[in-house]
Structure 1
Amino acid sequence: MTRRRSRPALPALLTPLALVAALAGCGLVTDESDDGPTGGGRSFTVAAAGDILIHPQLIEQARKDGKKTGEGANGMDFGPMMAGVKPVISKADLAICHFEPVVGKPNGPFRSYPDFLVPPQITQAVKGVGYDTCSTASNHTLDHGYGGVKRTLDTLDAAGLKHTGSFRTKKDALTPLVMDVKGVKVAQLSFAFGFNGRELPKDKPWLVNQNDLDRIRTAEKQARAAGAEVVILSIHWGREHHPNPSAPQLEFARRLADETGIDLVIGHHAHVVQPMEKVGGTWIAYGLGNQIARHDVPTGLTEEGVIGWFTFTEHDGEWSVRARYEPTLVDIPPDHENTGDGATAEAEDGEVQDYRLLSVAEALKSEDLTDQERARYRLAYERTEGTMLNRGAAKDGLKPLTDLPD
């Protein structure tokens, strides 16, 4: 049965002074009793992060790391690149990734935008940092047709990752993904706004879930009928490279909160961090940015992401959700021009040497940072913090998972 929630008035953006005041109250999360009623029943945590989108520079980094570690298949090891978020992701009771591209064969060929085909080795690294399940509905899901969908899902299966959003059979599409998380039945749904102009096959209209409120409502009902006590929606929506959610995003979020019983909405696609907001009783993460990617023209914002951290606690048969966030950053080496003899100029002292995904607060604890690194990391943290709170979420208890170190 749909749980109706009252629709709150749209919050105004915080003024700079109010934002500073909100940020000043954020402390290291060590006592979880400061939000909501105490003495609850069952409880579990969820970590969810931004888009995984593998560009050519990241493939080359995996080859470089594979030579050093001797790990990974076919000379590619994505593990060192992803390792920086393992301390956060691995602690969650349920960790959700958004796997955006199509998987290719271990030796390639590989492709980048506009029709991604990425090394299957990345899925082992995703599992290795602690992810349990991935959403697979995105605008790139149909880049290589049914064969690409099947190969991607087969590869996720082989890595030990659950998945939903795209499907190999109609039966799979009608079977909700319901997981046991510390004794709680938790369902994950995954939907996308469209597929870059590609149409769903007429003989396989169930191949990928496409955004539609009635379809989402139906999927939630199917999950509840399958025993789900909590339902989490991963949704691909919004405008690329816009830190503010679009008007259609805001409207759709309110309809999801008001007209469904979904307990948490996790947004993707913008490739930059967008705010979180509590609408009625439902937390909406409009966009978690990129977990790992390397766009052709990095903007600073495209390297930044966020891990949403959500604590679910049961009180008298109802679930309350406390929201936190952990800023992340993909450290990228500078581009060096070719010297003309086929070689590339050597990196200068203090320059980033390798592509690395970092938990920003943890990285800032290092005493070995250059002034340039420290300034870049602080900027990423503070910018993410400001974005997270710019729709008034501080009043609903949104805080960083880890404080900005002094």
Structure 2
Amino acid sequence: MGRTVALIALAALTAGCTSGAAASSVKPGGRSFTVAAAGDILIHPELVEQAAKDAKATGEGEAGLDFGPLLAGVKPIISKADLAICHLETPVGNPRGPFEGYPEFLVPPQILGTLKDVGYDTCSTASNHTFDHGLKAVKQTLDAMDEVGLGHTGSARTPAEAKRINIREVNGVKVAHLAFSWESFLNPTPGKERWAFNRIGTEEIKKAETRARRLGAEVVILTLHWGLEHYNEPSVPQLQLVERVTKETGVDLVIGHHPHVVQPIQKVNGTWVAFSLGNEVARHSSPTGLTEEGVIGWFTFRETADGWDVSARYRTTLVDIPPEVEDGDKAPDGAVTDHRVVDVRHMLDEPGDLPPDRIARYQLAADRTRGFLYNRGAPGGDGLKELTLERD
């Protein structure tokens, strides 16, 4: 996107982003860029219904669906990053359906245009749902992403495409984005099509990074679909894999998805690892409270004499869910009326006439998310802090 982030007290924030040693090694006149990465994009049937409701109200969208209002709350953040990365959890179908929810997702392709409009540049497409509807749906998904101008990595339409590396030029820096996932036991990839899906493995990651570097990548960002659902702590396999990856590769940043809840962000062997960013947008059939909470990870890369200094910030998000009421009953006064992804800090800083229980819910999300993010010591030596920015 090449846009400049409008940070409050920019000089003070910059000074706070790096340690004294790192700051002193930042190259005078060196290149820099920002990366925003968010949690899972998981379009459940209730969100399709919301998009239909919003299309009637706005008169916009395509084929009777408008996802714009659902994600409008995070656009002021995502759109300011130089590189914004999303995680598309599921394949997309035809604009008019039919659509499917869990366990074999097929979601409206209209969500892709909204992701592009929000400010996302590229997405990981490797997940345990990649092959929910086979190679045909993989092709359809990537075709639709190409049509709206969204980059992608993690799945492929042909063996030749599977060997390509997603490299983007960001503020004059060649940045590679790699994506790997564990495979679904429900819909495993057929042996003859194993090339169409990137499976997690240290050696596979090493090979992909090597190819990226040979193609000129100066920074390599790795997305991993891993871990245990609904656990706020990384699993042993997560910890073991990231220990190997951060020791045996030159990957510059690791971004995690799949648990559907927030897990810590910390440095491992000097490399920032976001174990799980939670959900960016989802509406599980049995919301837990935790599954509505997510974070946008914000990473600033600054060129040094011998590589890159990376600092980390975060911004808490929450999916507002309307209360379920029986036919003829009325929702409580001040209750949420629509599914919306909100910027929690913005809501707390500018609550307007929100009722106390809504403010309390946003405060709970802020406090609880902070606890999970810091659970492995990031605020100490690592320097993870909340992102402060101006909204347009």
- TM-score, normalised to structure 1, is 0.90
8 A Cα contact 2:225 2:257, kept in partner:
yes
Contact 1:28/1:402, CA 8 A, preserved across alignment: no
1:21-32 equivalences under 5 Å are 31-32=13-14
- Counterparts of 2:105 and 2:214, CA distance in 1: 36
Q: Deviations over 1:246-299 (max 9, x none)?
A: 111111111110011100000000000000110111001000000000000000
Q: Does 1:100 align with 2:86?
A: no
1:379 is matched with 364
1:70 maps to which of 47, 59, 84: 59
Cα distance in structure 1, aligned partners of 2:347 and 2:335 = 16
Q: Tell me the equivalent position of 1:204.
A: 193
CA distance in 1, matches of 2:282, 2:128: 16
SS in 1 for 2:191: coil
Instruction: State the alpha-carbon separation in 2 of the partners of residues 355 and 377 from structure 1.
Output: 15
1:347 counterpart letter in structure 2: A
Q: Which residue of 2 aligns with 1:398?
A: 384
Q: Write the distance in 2 (CA, Å) between the matches of 1:315 and 1:59.
A: 46
User: How far is the alpha carbon of 1:160 from its aligned partner?
Assistant: 1.1
Give the deviation of 1:200 after TM superposition: 2.1
SS of the equivalent of 1:75 reads coil
SS at match of 2:70: helix
Between the aligned partners of 2:222 and 2:232, the Cα distance in structure 1 is 20
1:2-30 deviation per Cα after TM superposition (whole angstroms, max 9, x unaligned): xxxxxxxxxxxxxxxxxxxxxxxxx9875
Q: Does 1:347 align with 2:331?
A: yes
- Larger helix share, 1 or 2: 2
Question: 1:315 corresponds to which residue?
Answer: 304
Identify the residue that residue 43 of structure 2 maps to in structure 1: 54
Contact 2:63 2:96 in 1 (8 A): yes
| 1:146-161 map, 5 Å | 146-161=135-150
Q: How far apart, CA to CA, are the structure 2 residues paired with 1:206 and 1:389? A: 37
**2:323 is aligned with 1:334:** yes
**In structure 1, the residue corresponding to 2:115 is in which secondary structure?**
helix
Q: Which runs of 5+ in 2 are unaligned?
A: 1-7
Note the 1:7-46 alignment, pairs <5 A: 31-34=13-16, 35=18, 36-38=22-24, 39-40=26-27, 41-46=30-35
For 2:320 and 2:261, locate their aligned partners in 1 and report how far apart those are by CA, in whole Å.
15
Residue identity in the other structure for 2:339: Y
What is the TM-score of this pair, normalised by structure 2? Answer: 0.93
Report the counterpart of residue 106 of structure 2 in structure 1.
Answer: 117
In structure 2, the residue matched to 1:13 is: none
* Distance of 1:400 and 1:253 partners within structure 2: 24
2:63 is paired with a residue of what secondary structure? Answer: helix
Task: Tell which deviates more after alignment, 359-368 or 288-297.
Answer: 359-368
Residue of structure 2 equivalent to 1:18: none
The 5 Å alignment of 1:164-175 reads: 164-175=153-164
Q: Give the letter aligned to residue 50 of structure 1.
A: G
Match of 1:257 among 222, 225, 246: 246
Secondary structure, counterpart of 2:194 in structure 1:
coil
Matches within 5 A, 1:230-309: 230-309=219-298
Which ranges of structure 1 fall in alignment gaps of 5 or more residues? 1-26, 340-344
Superposition deviation, residue 337 in structure 1: 2.0
Contact 1:28 1:400 survives alignment (8 Å): no
Quote the Cα distance in structure 2 between the aligned partners of 1:178 and 1:192: 19
SS at match of 1:172: helix
Helix, strand or coil at the partner of 1:175: coil
Partner Cα separation in structure 2 for residue 123 and residue 146 of structure 1 = 19
- CA contact 1:289–1:306 (8 Å) conserved in 2: yes
Further displaced range: 345-354 or 48-57 = 345-354
1:388 to 367, 373, 376: 373
Structure 1 stretches of 4+ with a deviation exceeding 6 A read none
CA distances 1:328-383 after superposition (whole Å, capped 9, x unpaired): 000000011234xxxxx332321100000011001112222110110000000011
Query: Is the CA contact 1:168–1:207 (under 8 Å) kept in the aligned structure 2?
Result: yes
Cα distance in 2 for residues equivalent to 1:304 and 1:199: 29
Structure 1 range deviating more: 212-221 or 151-160: 151-160
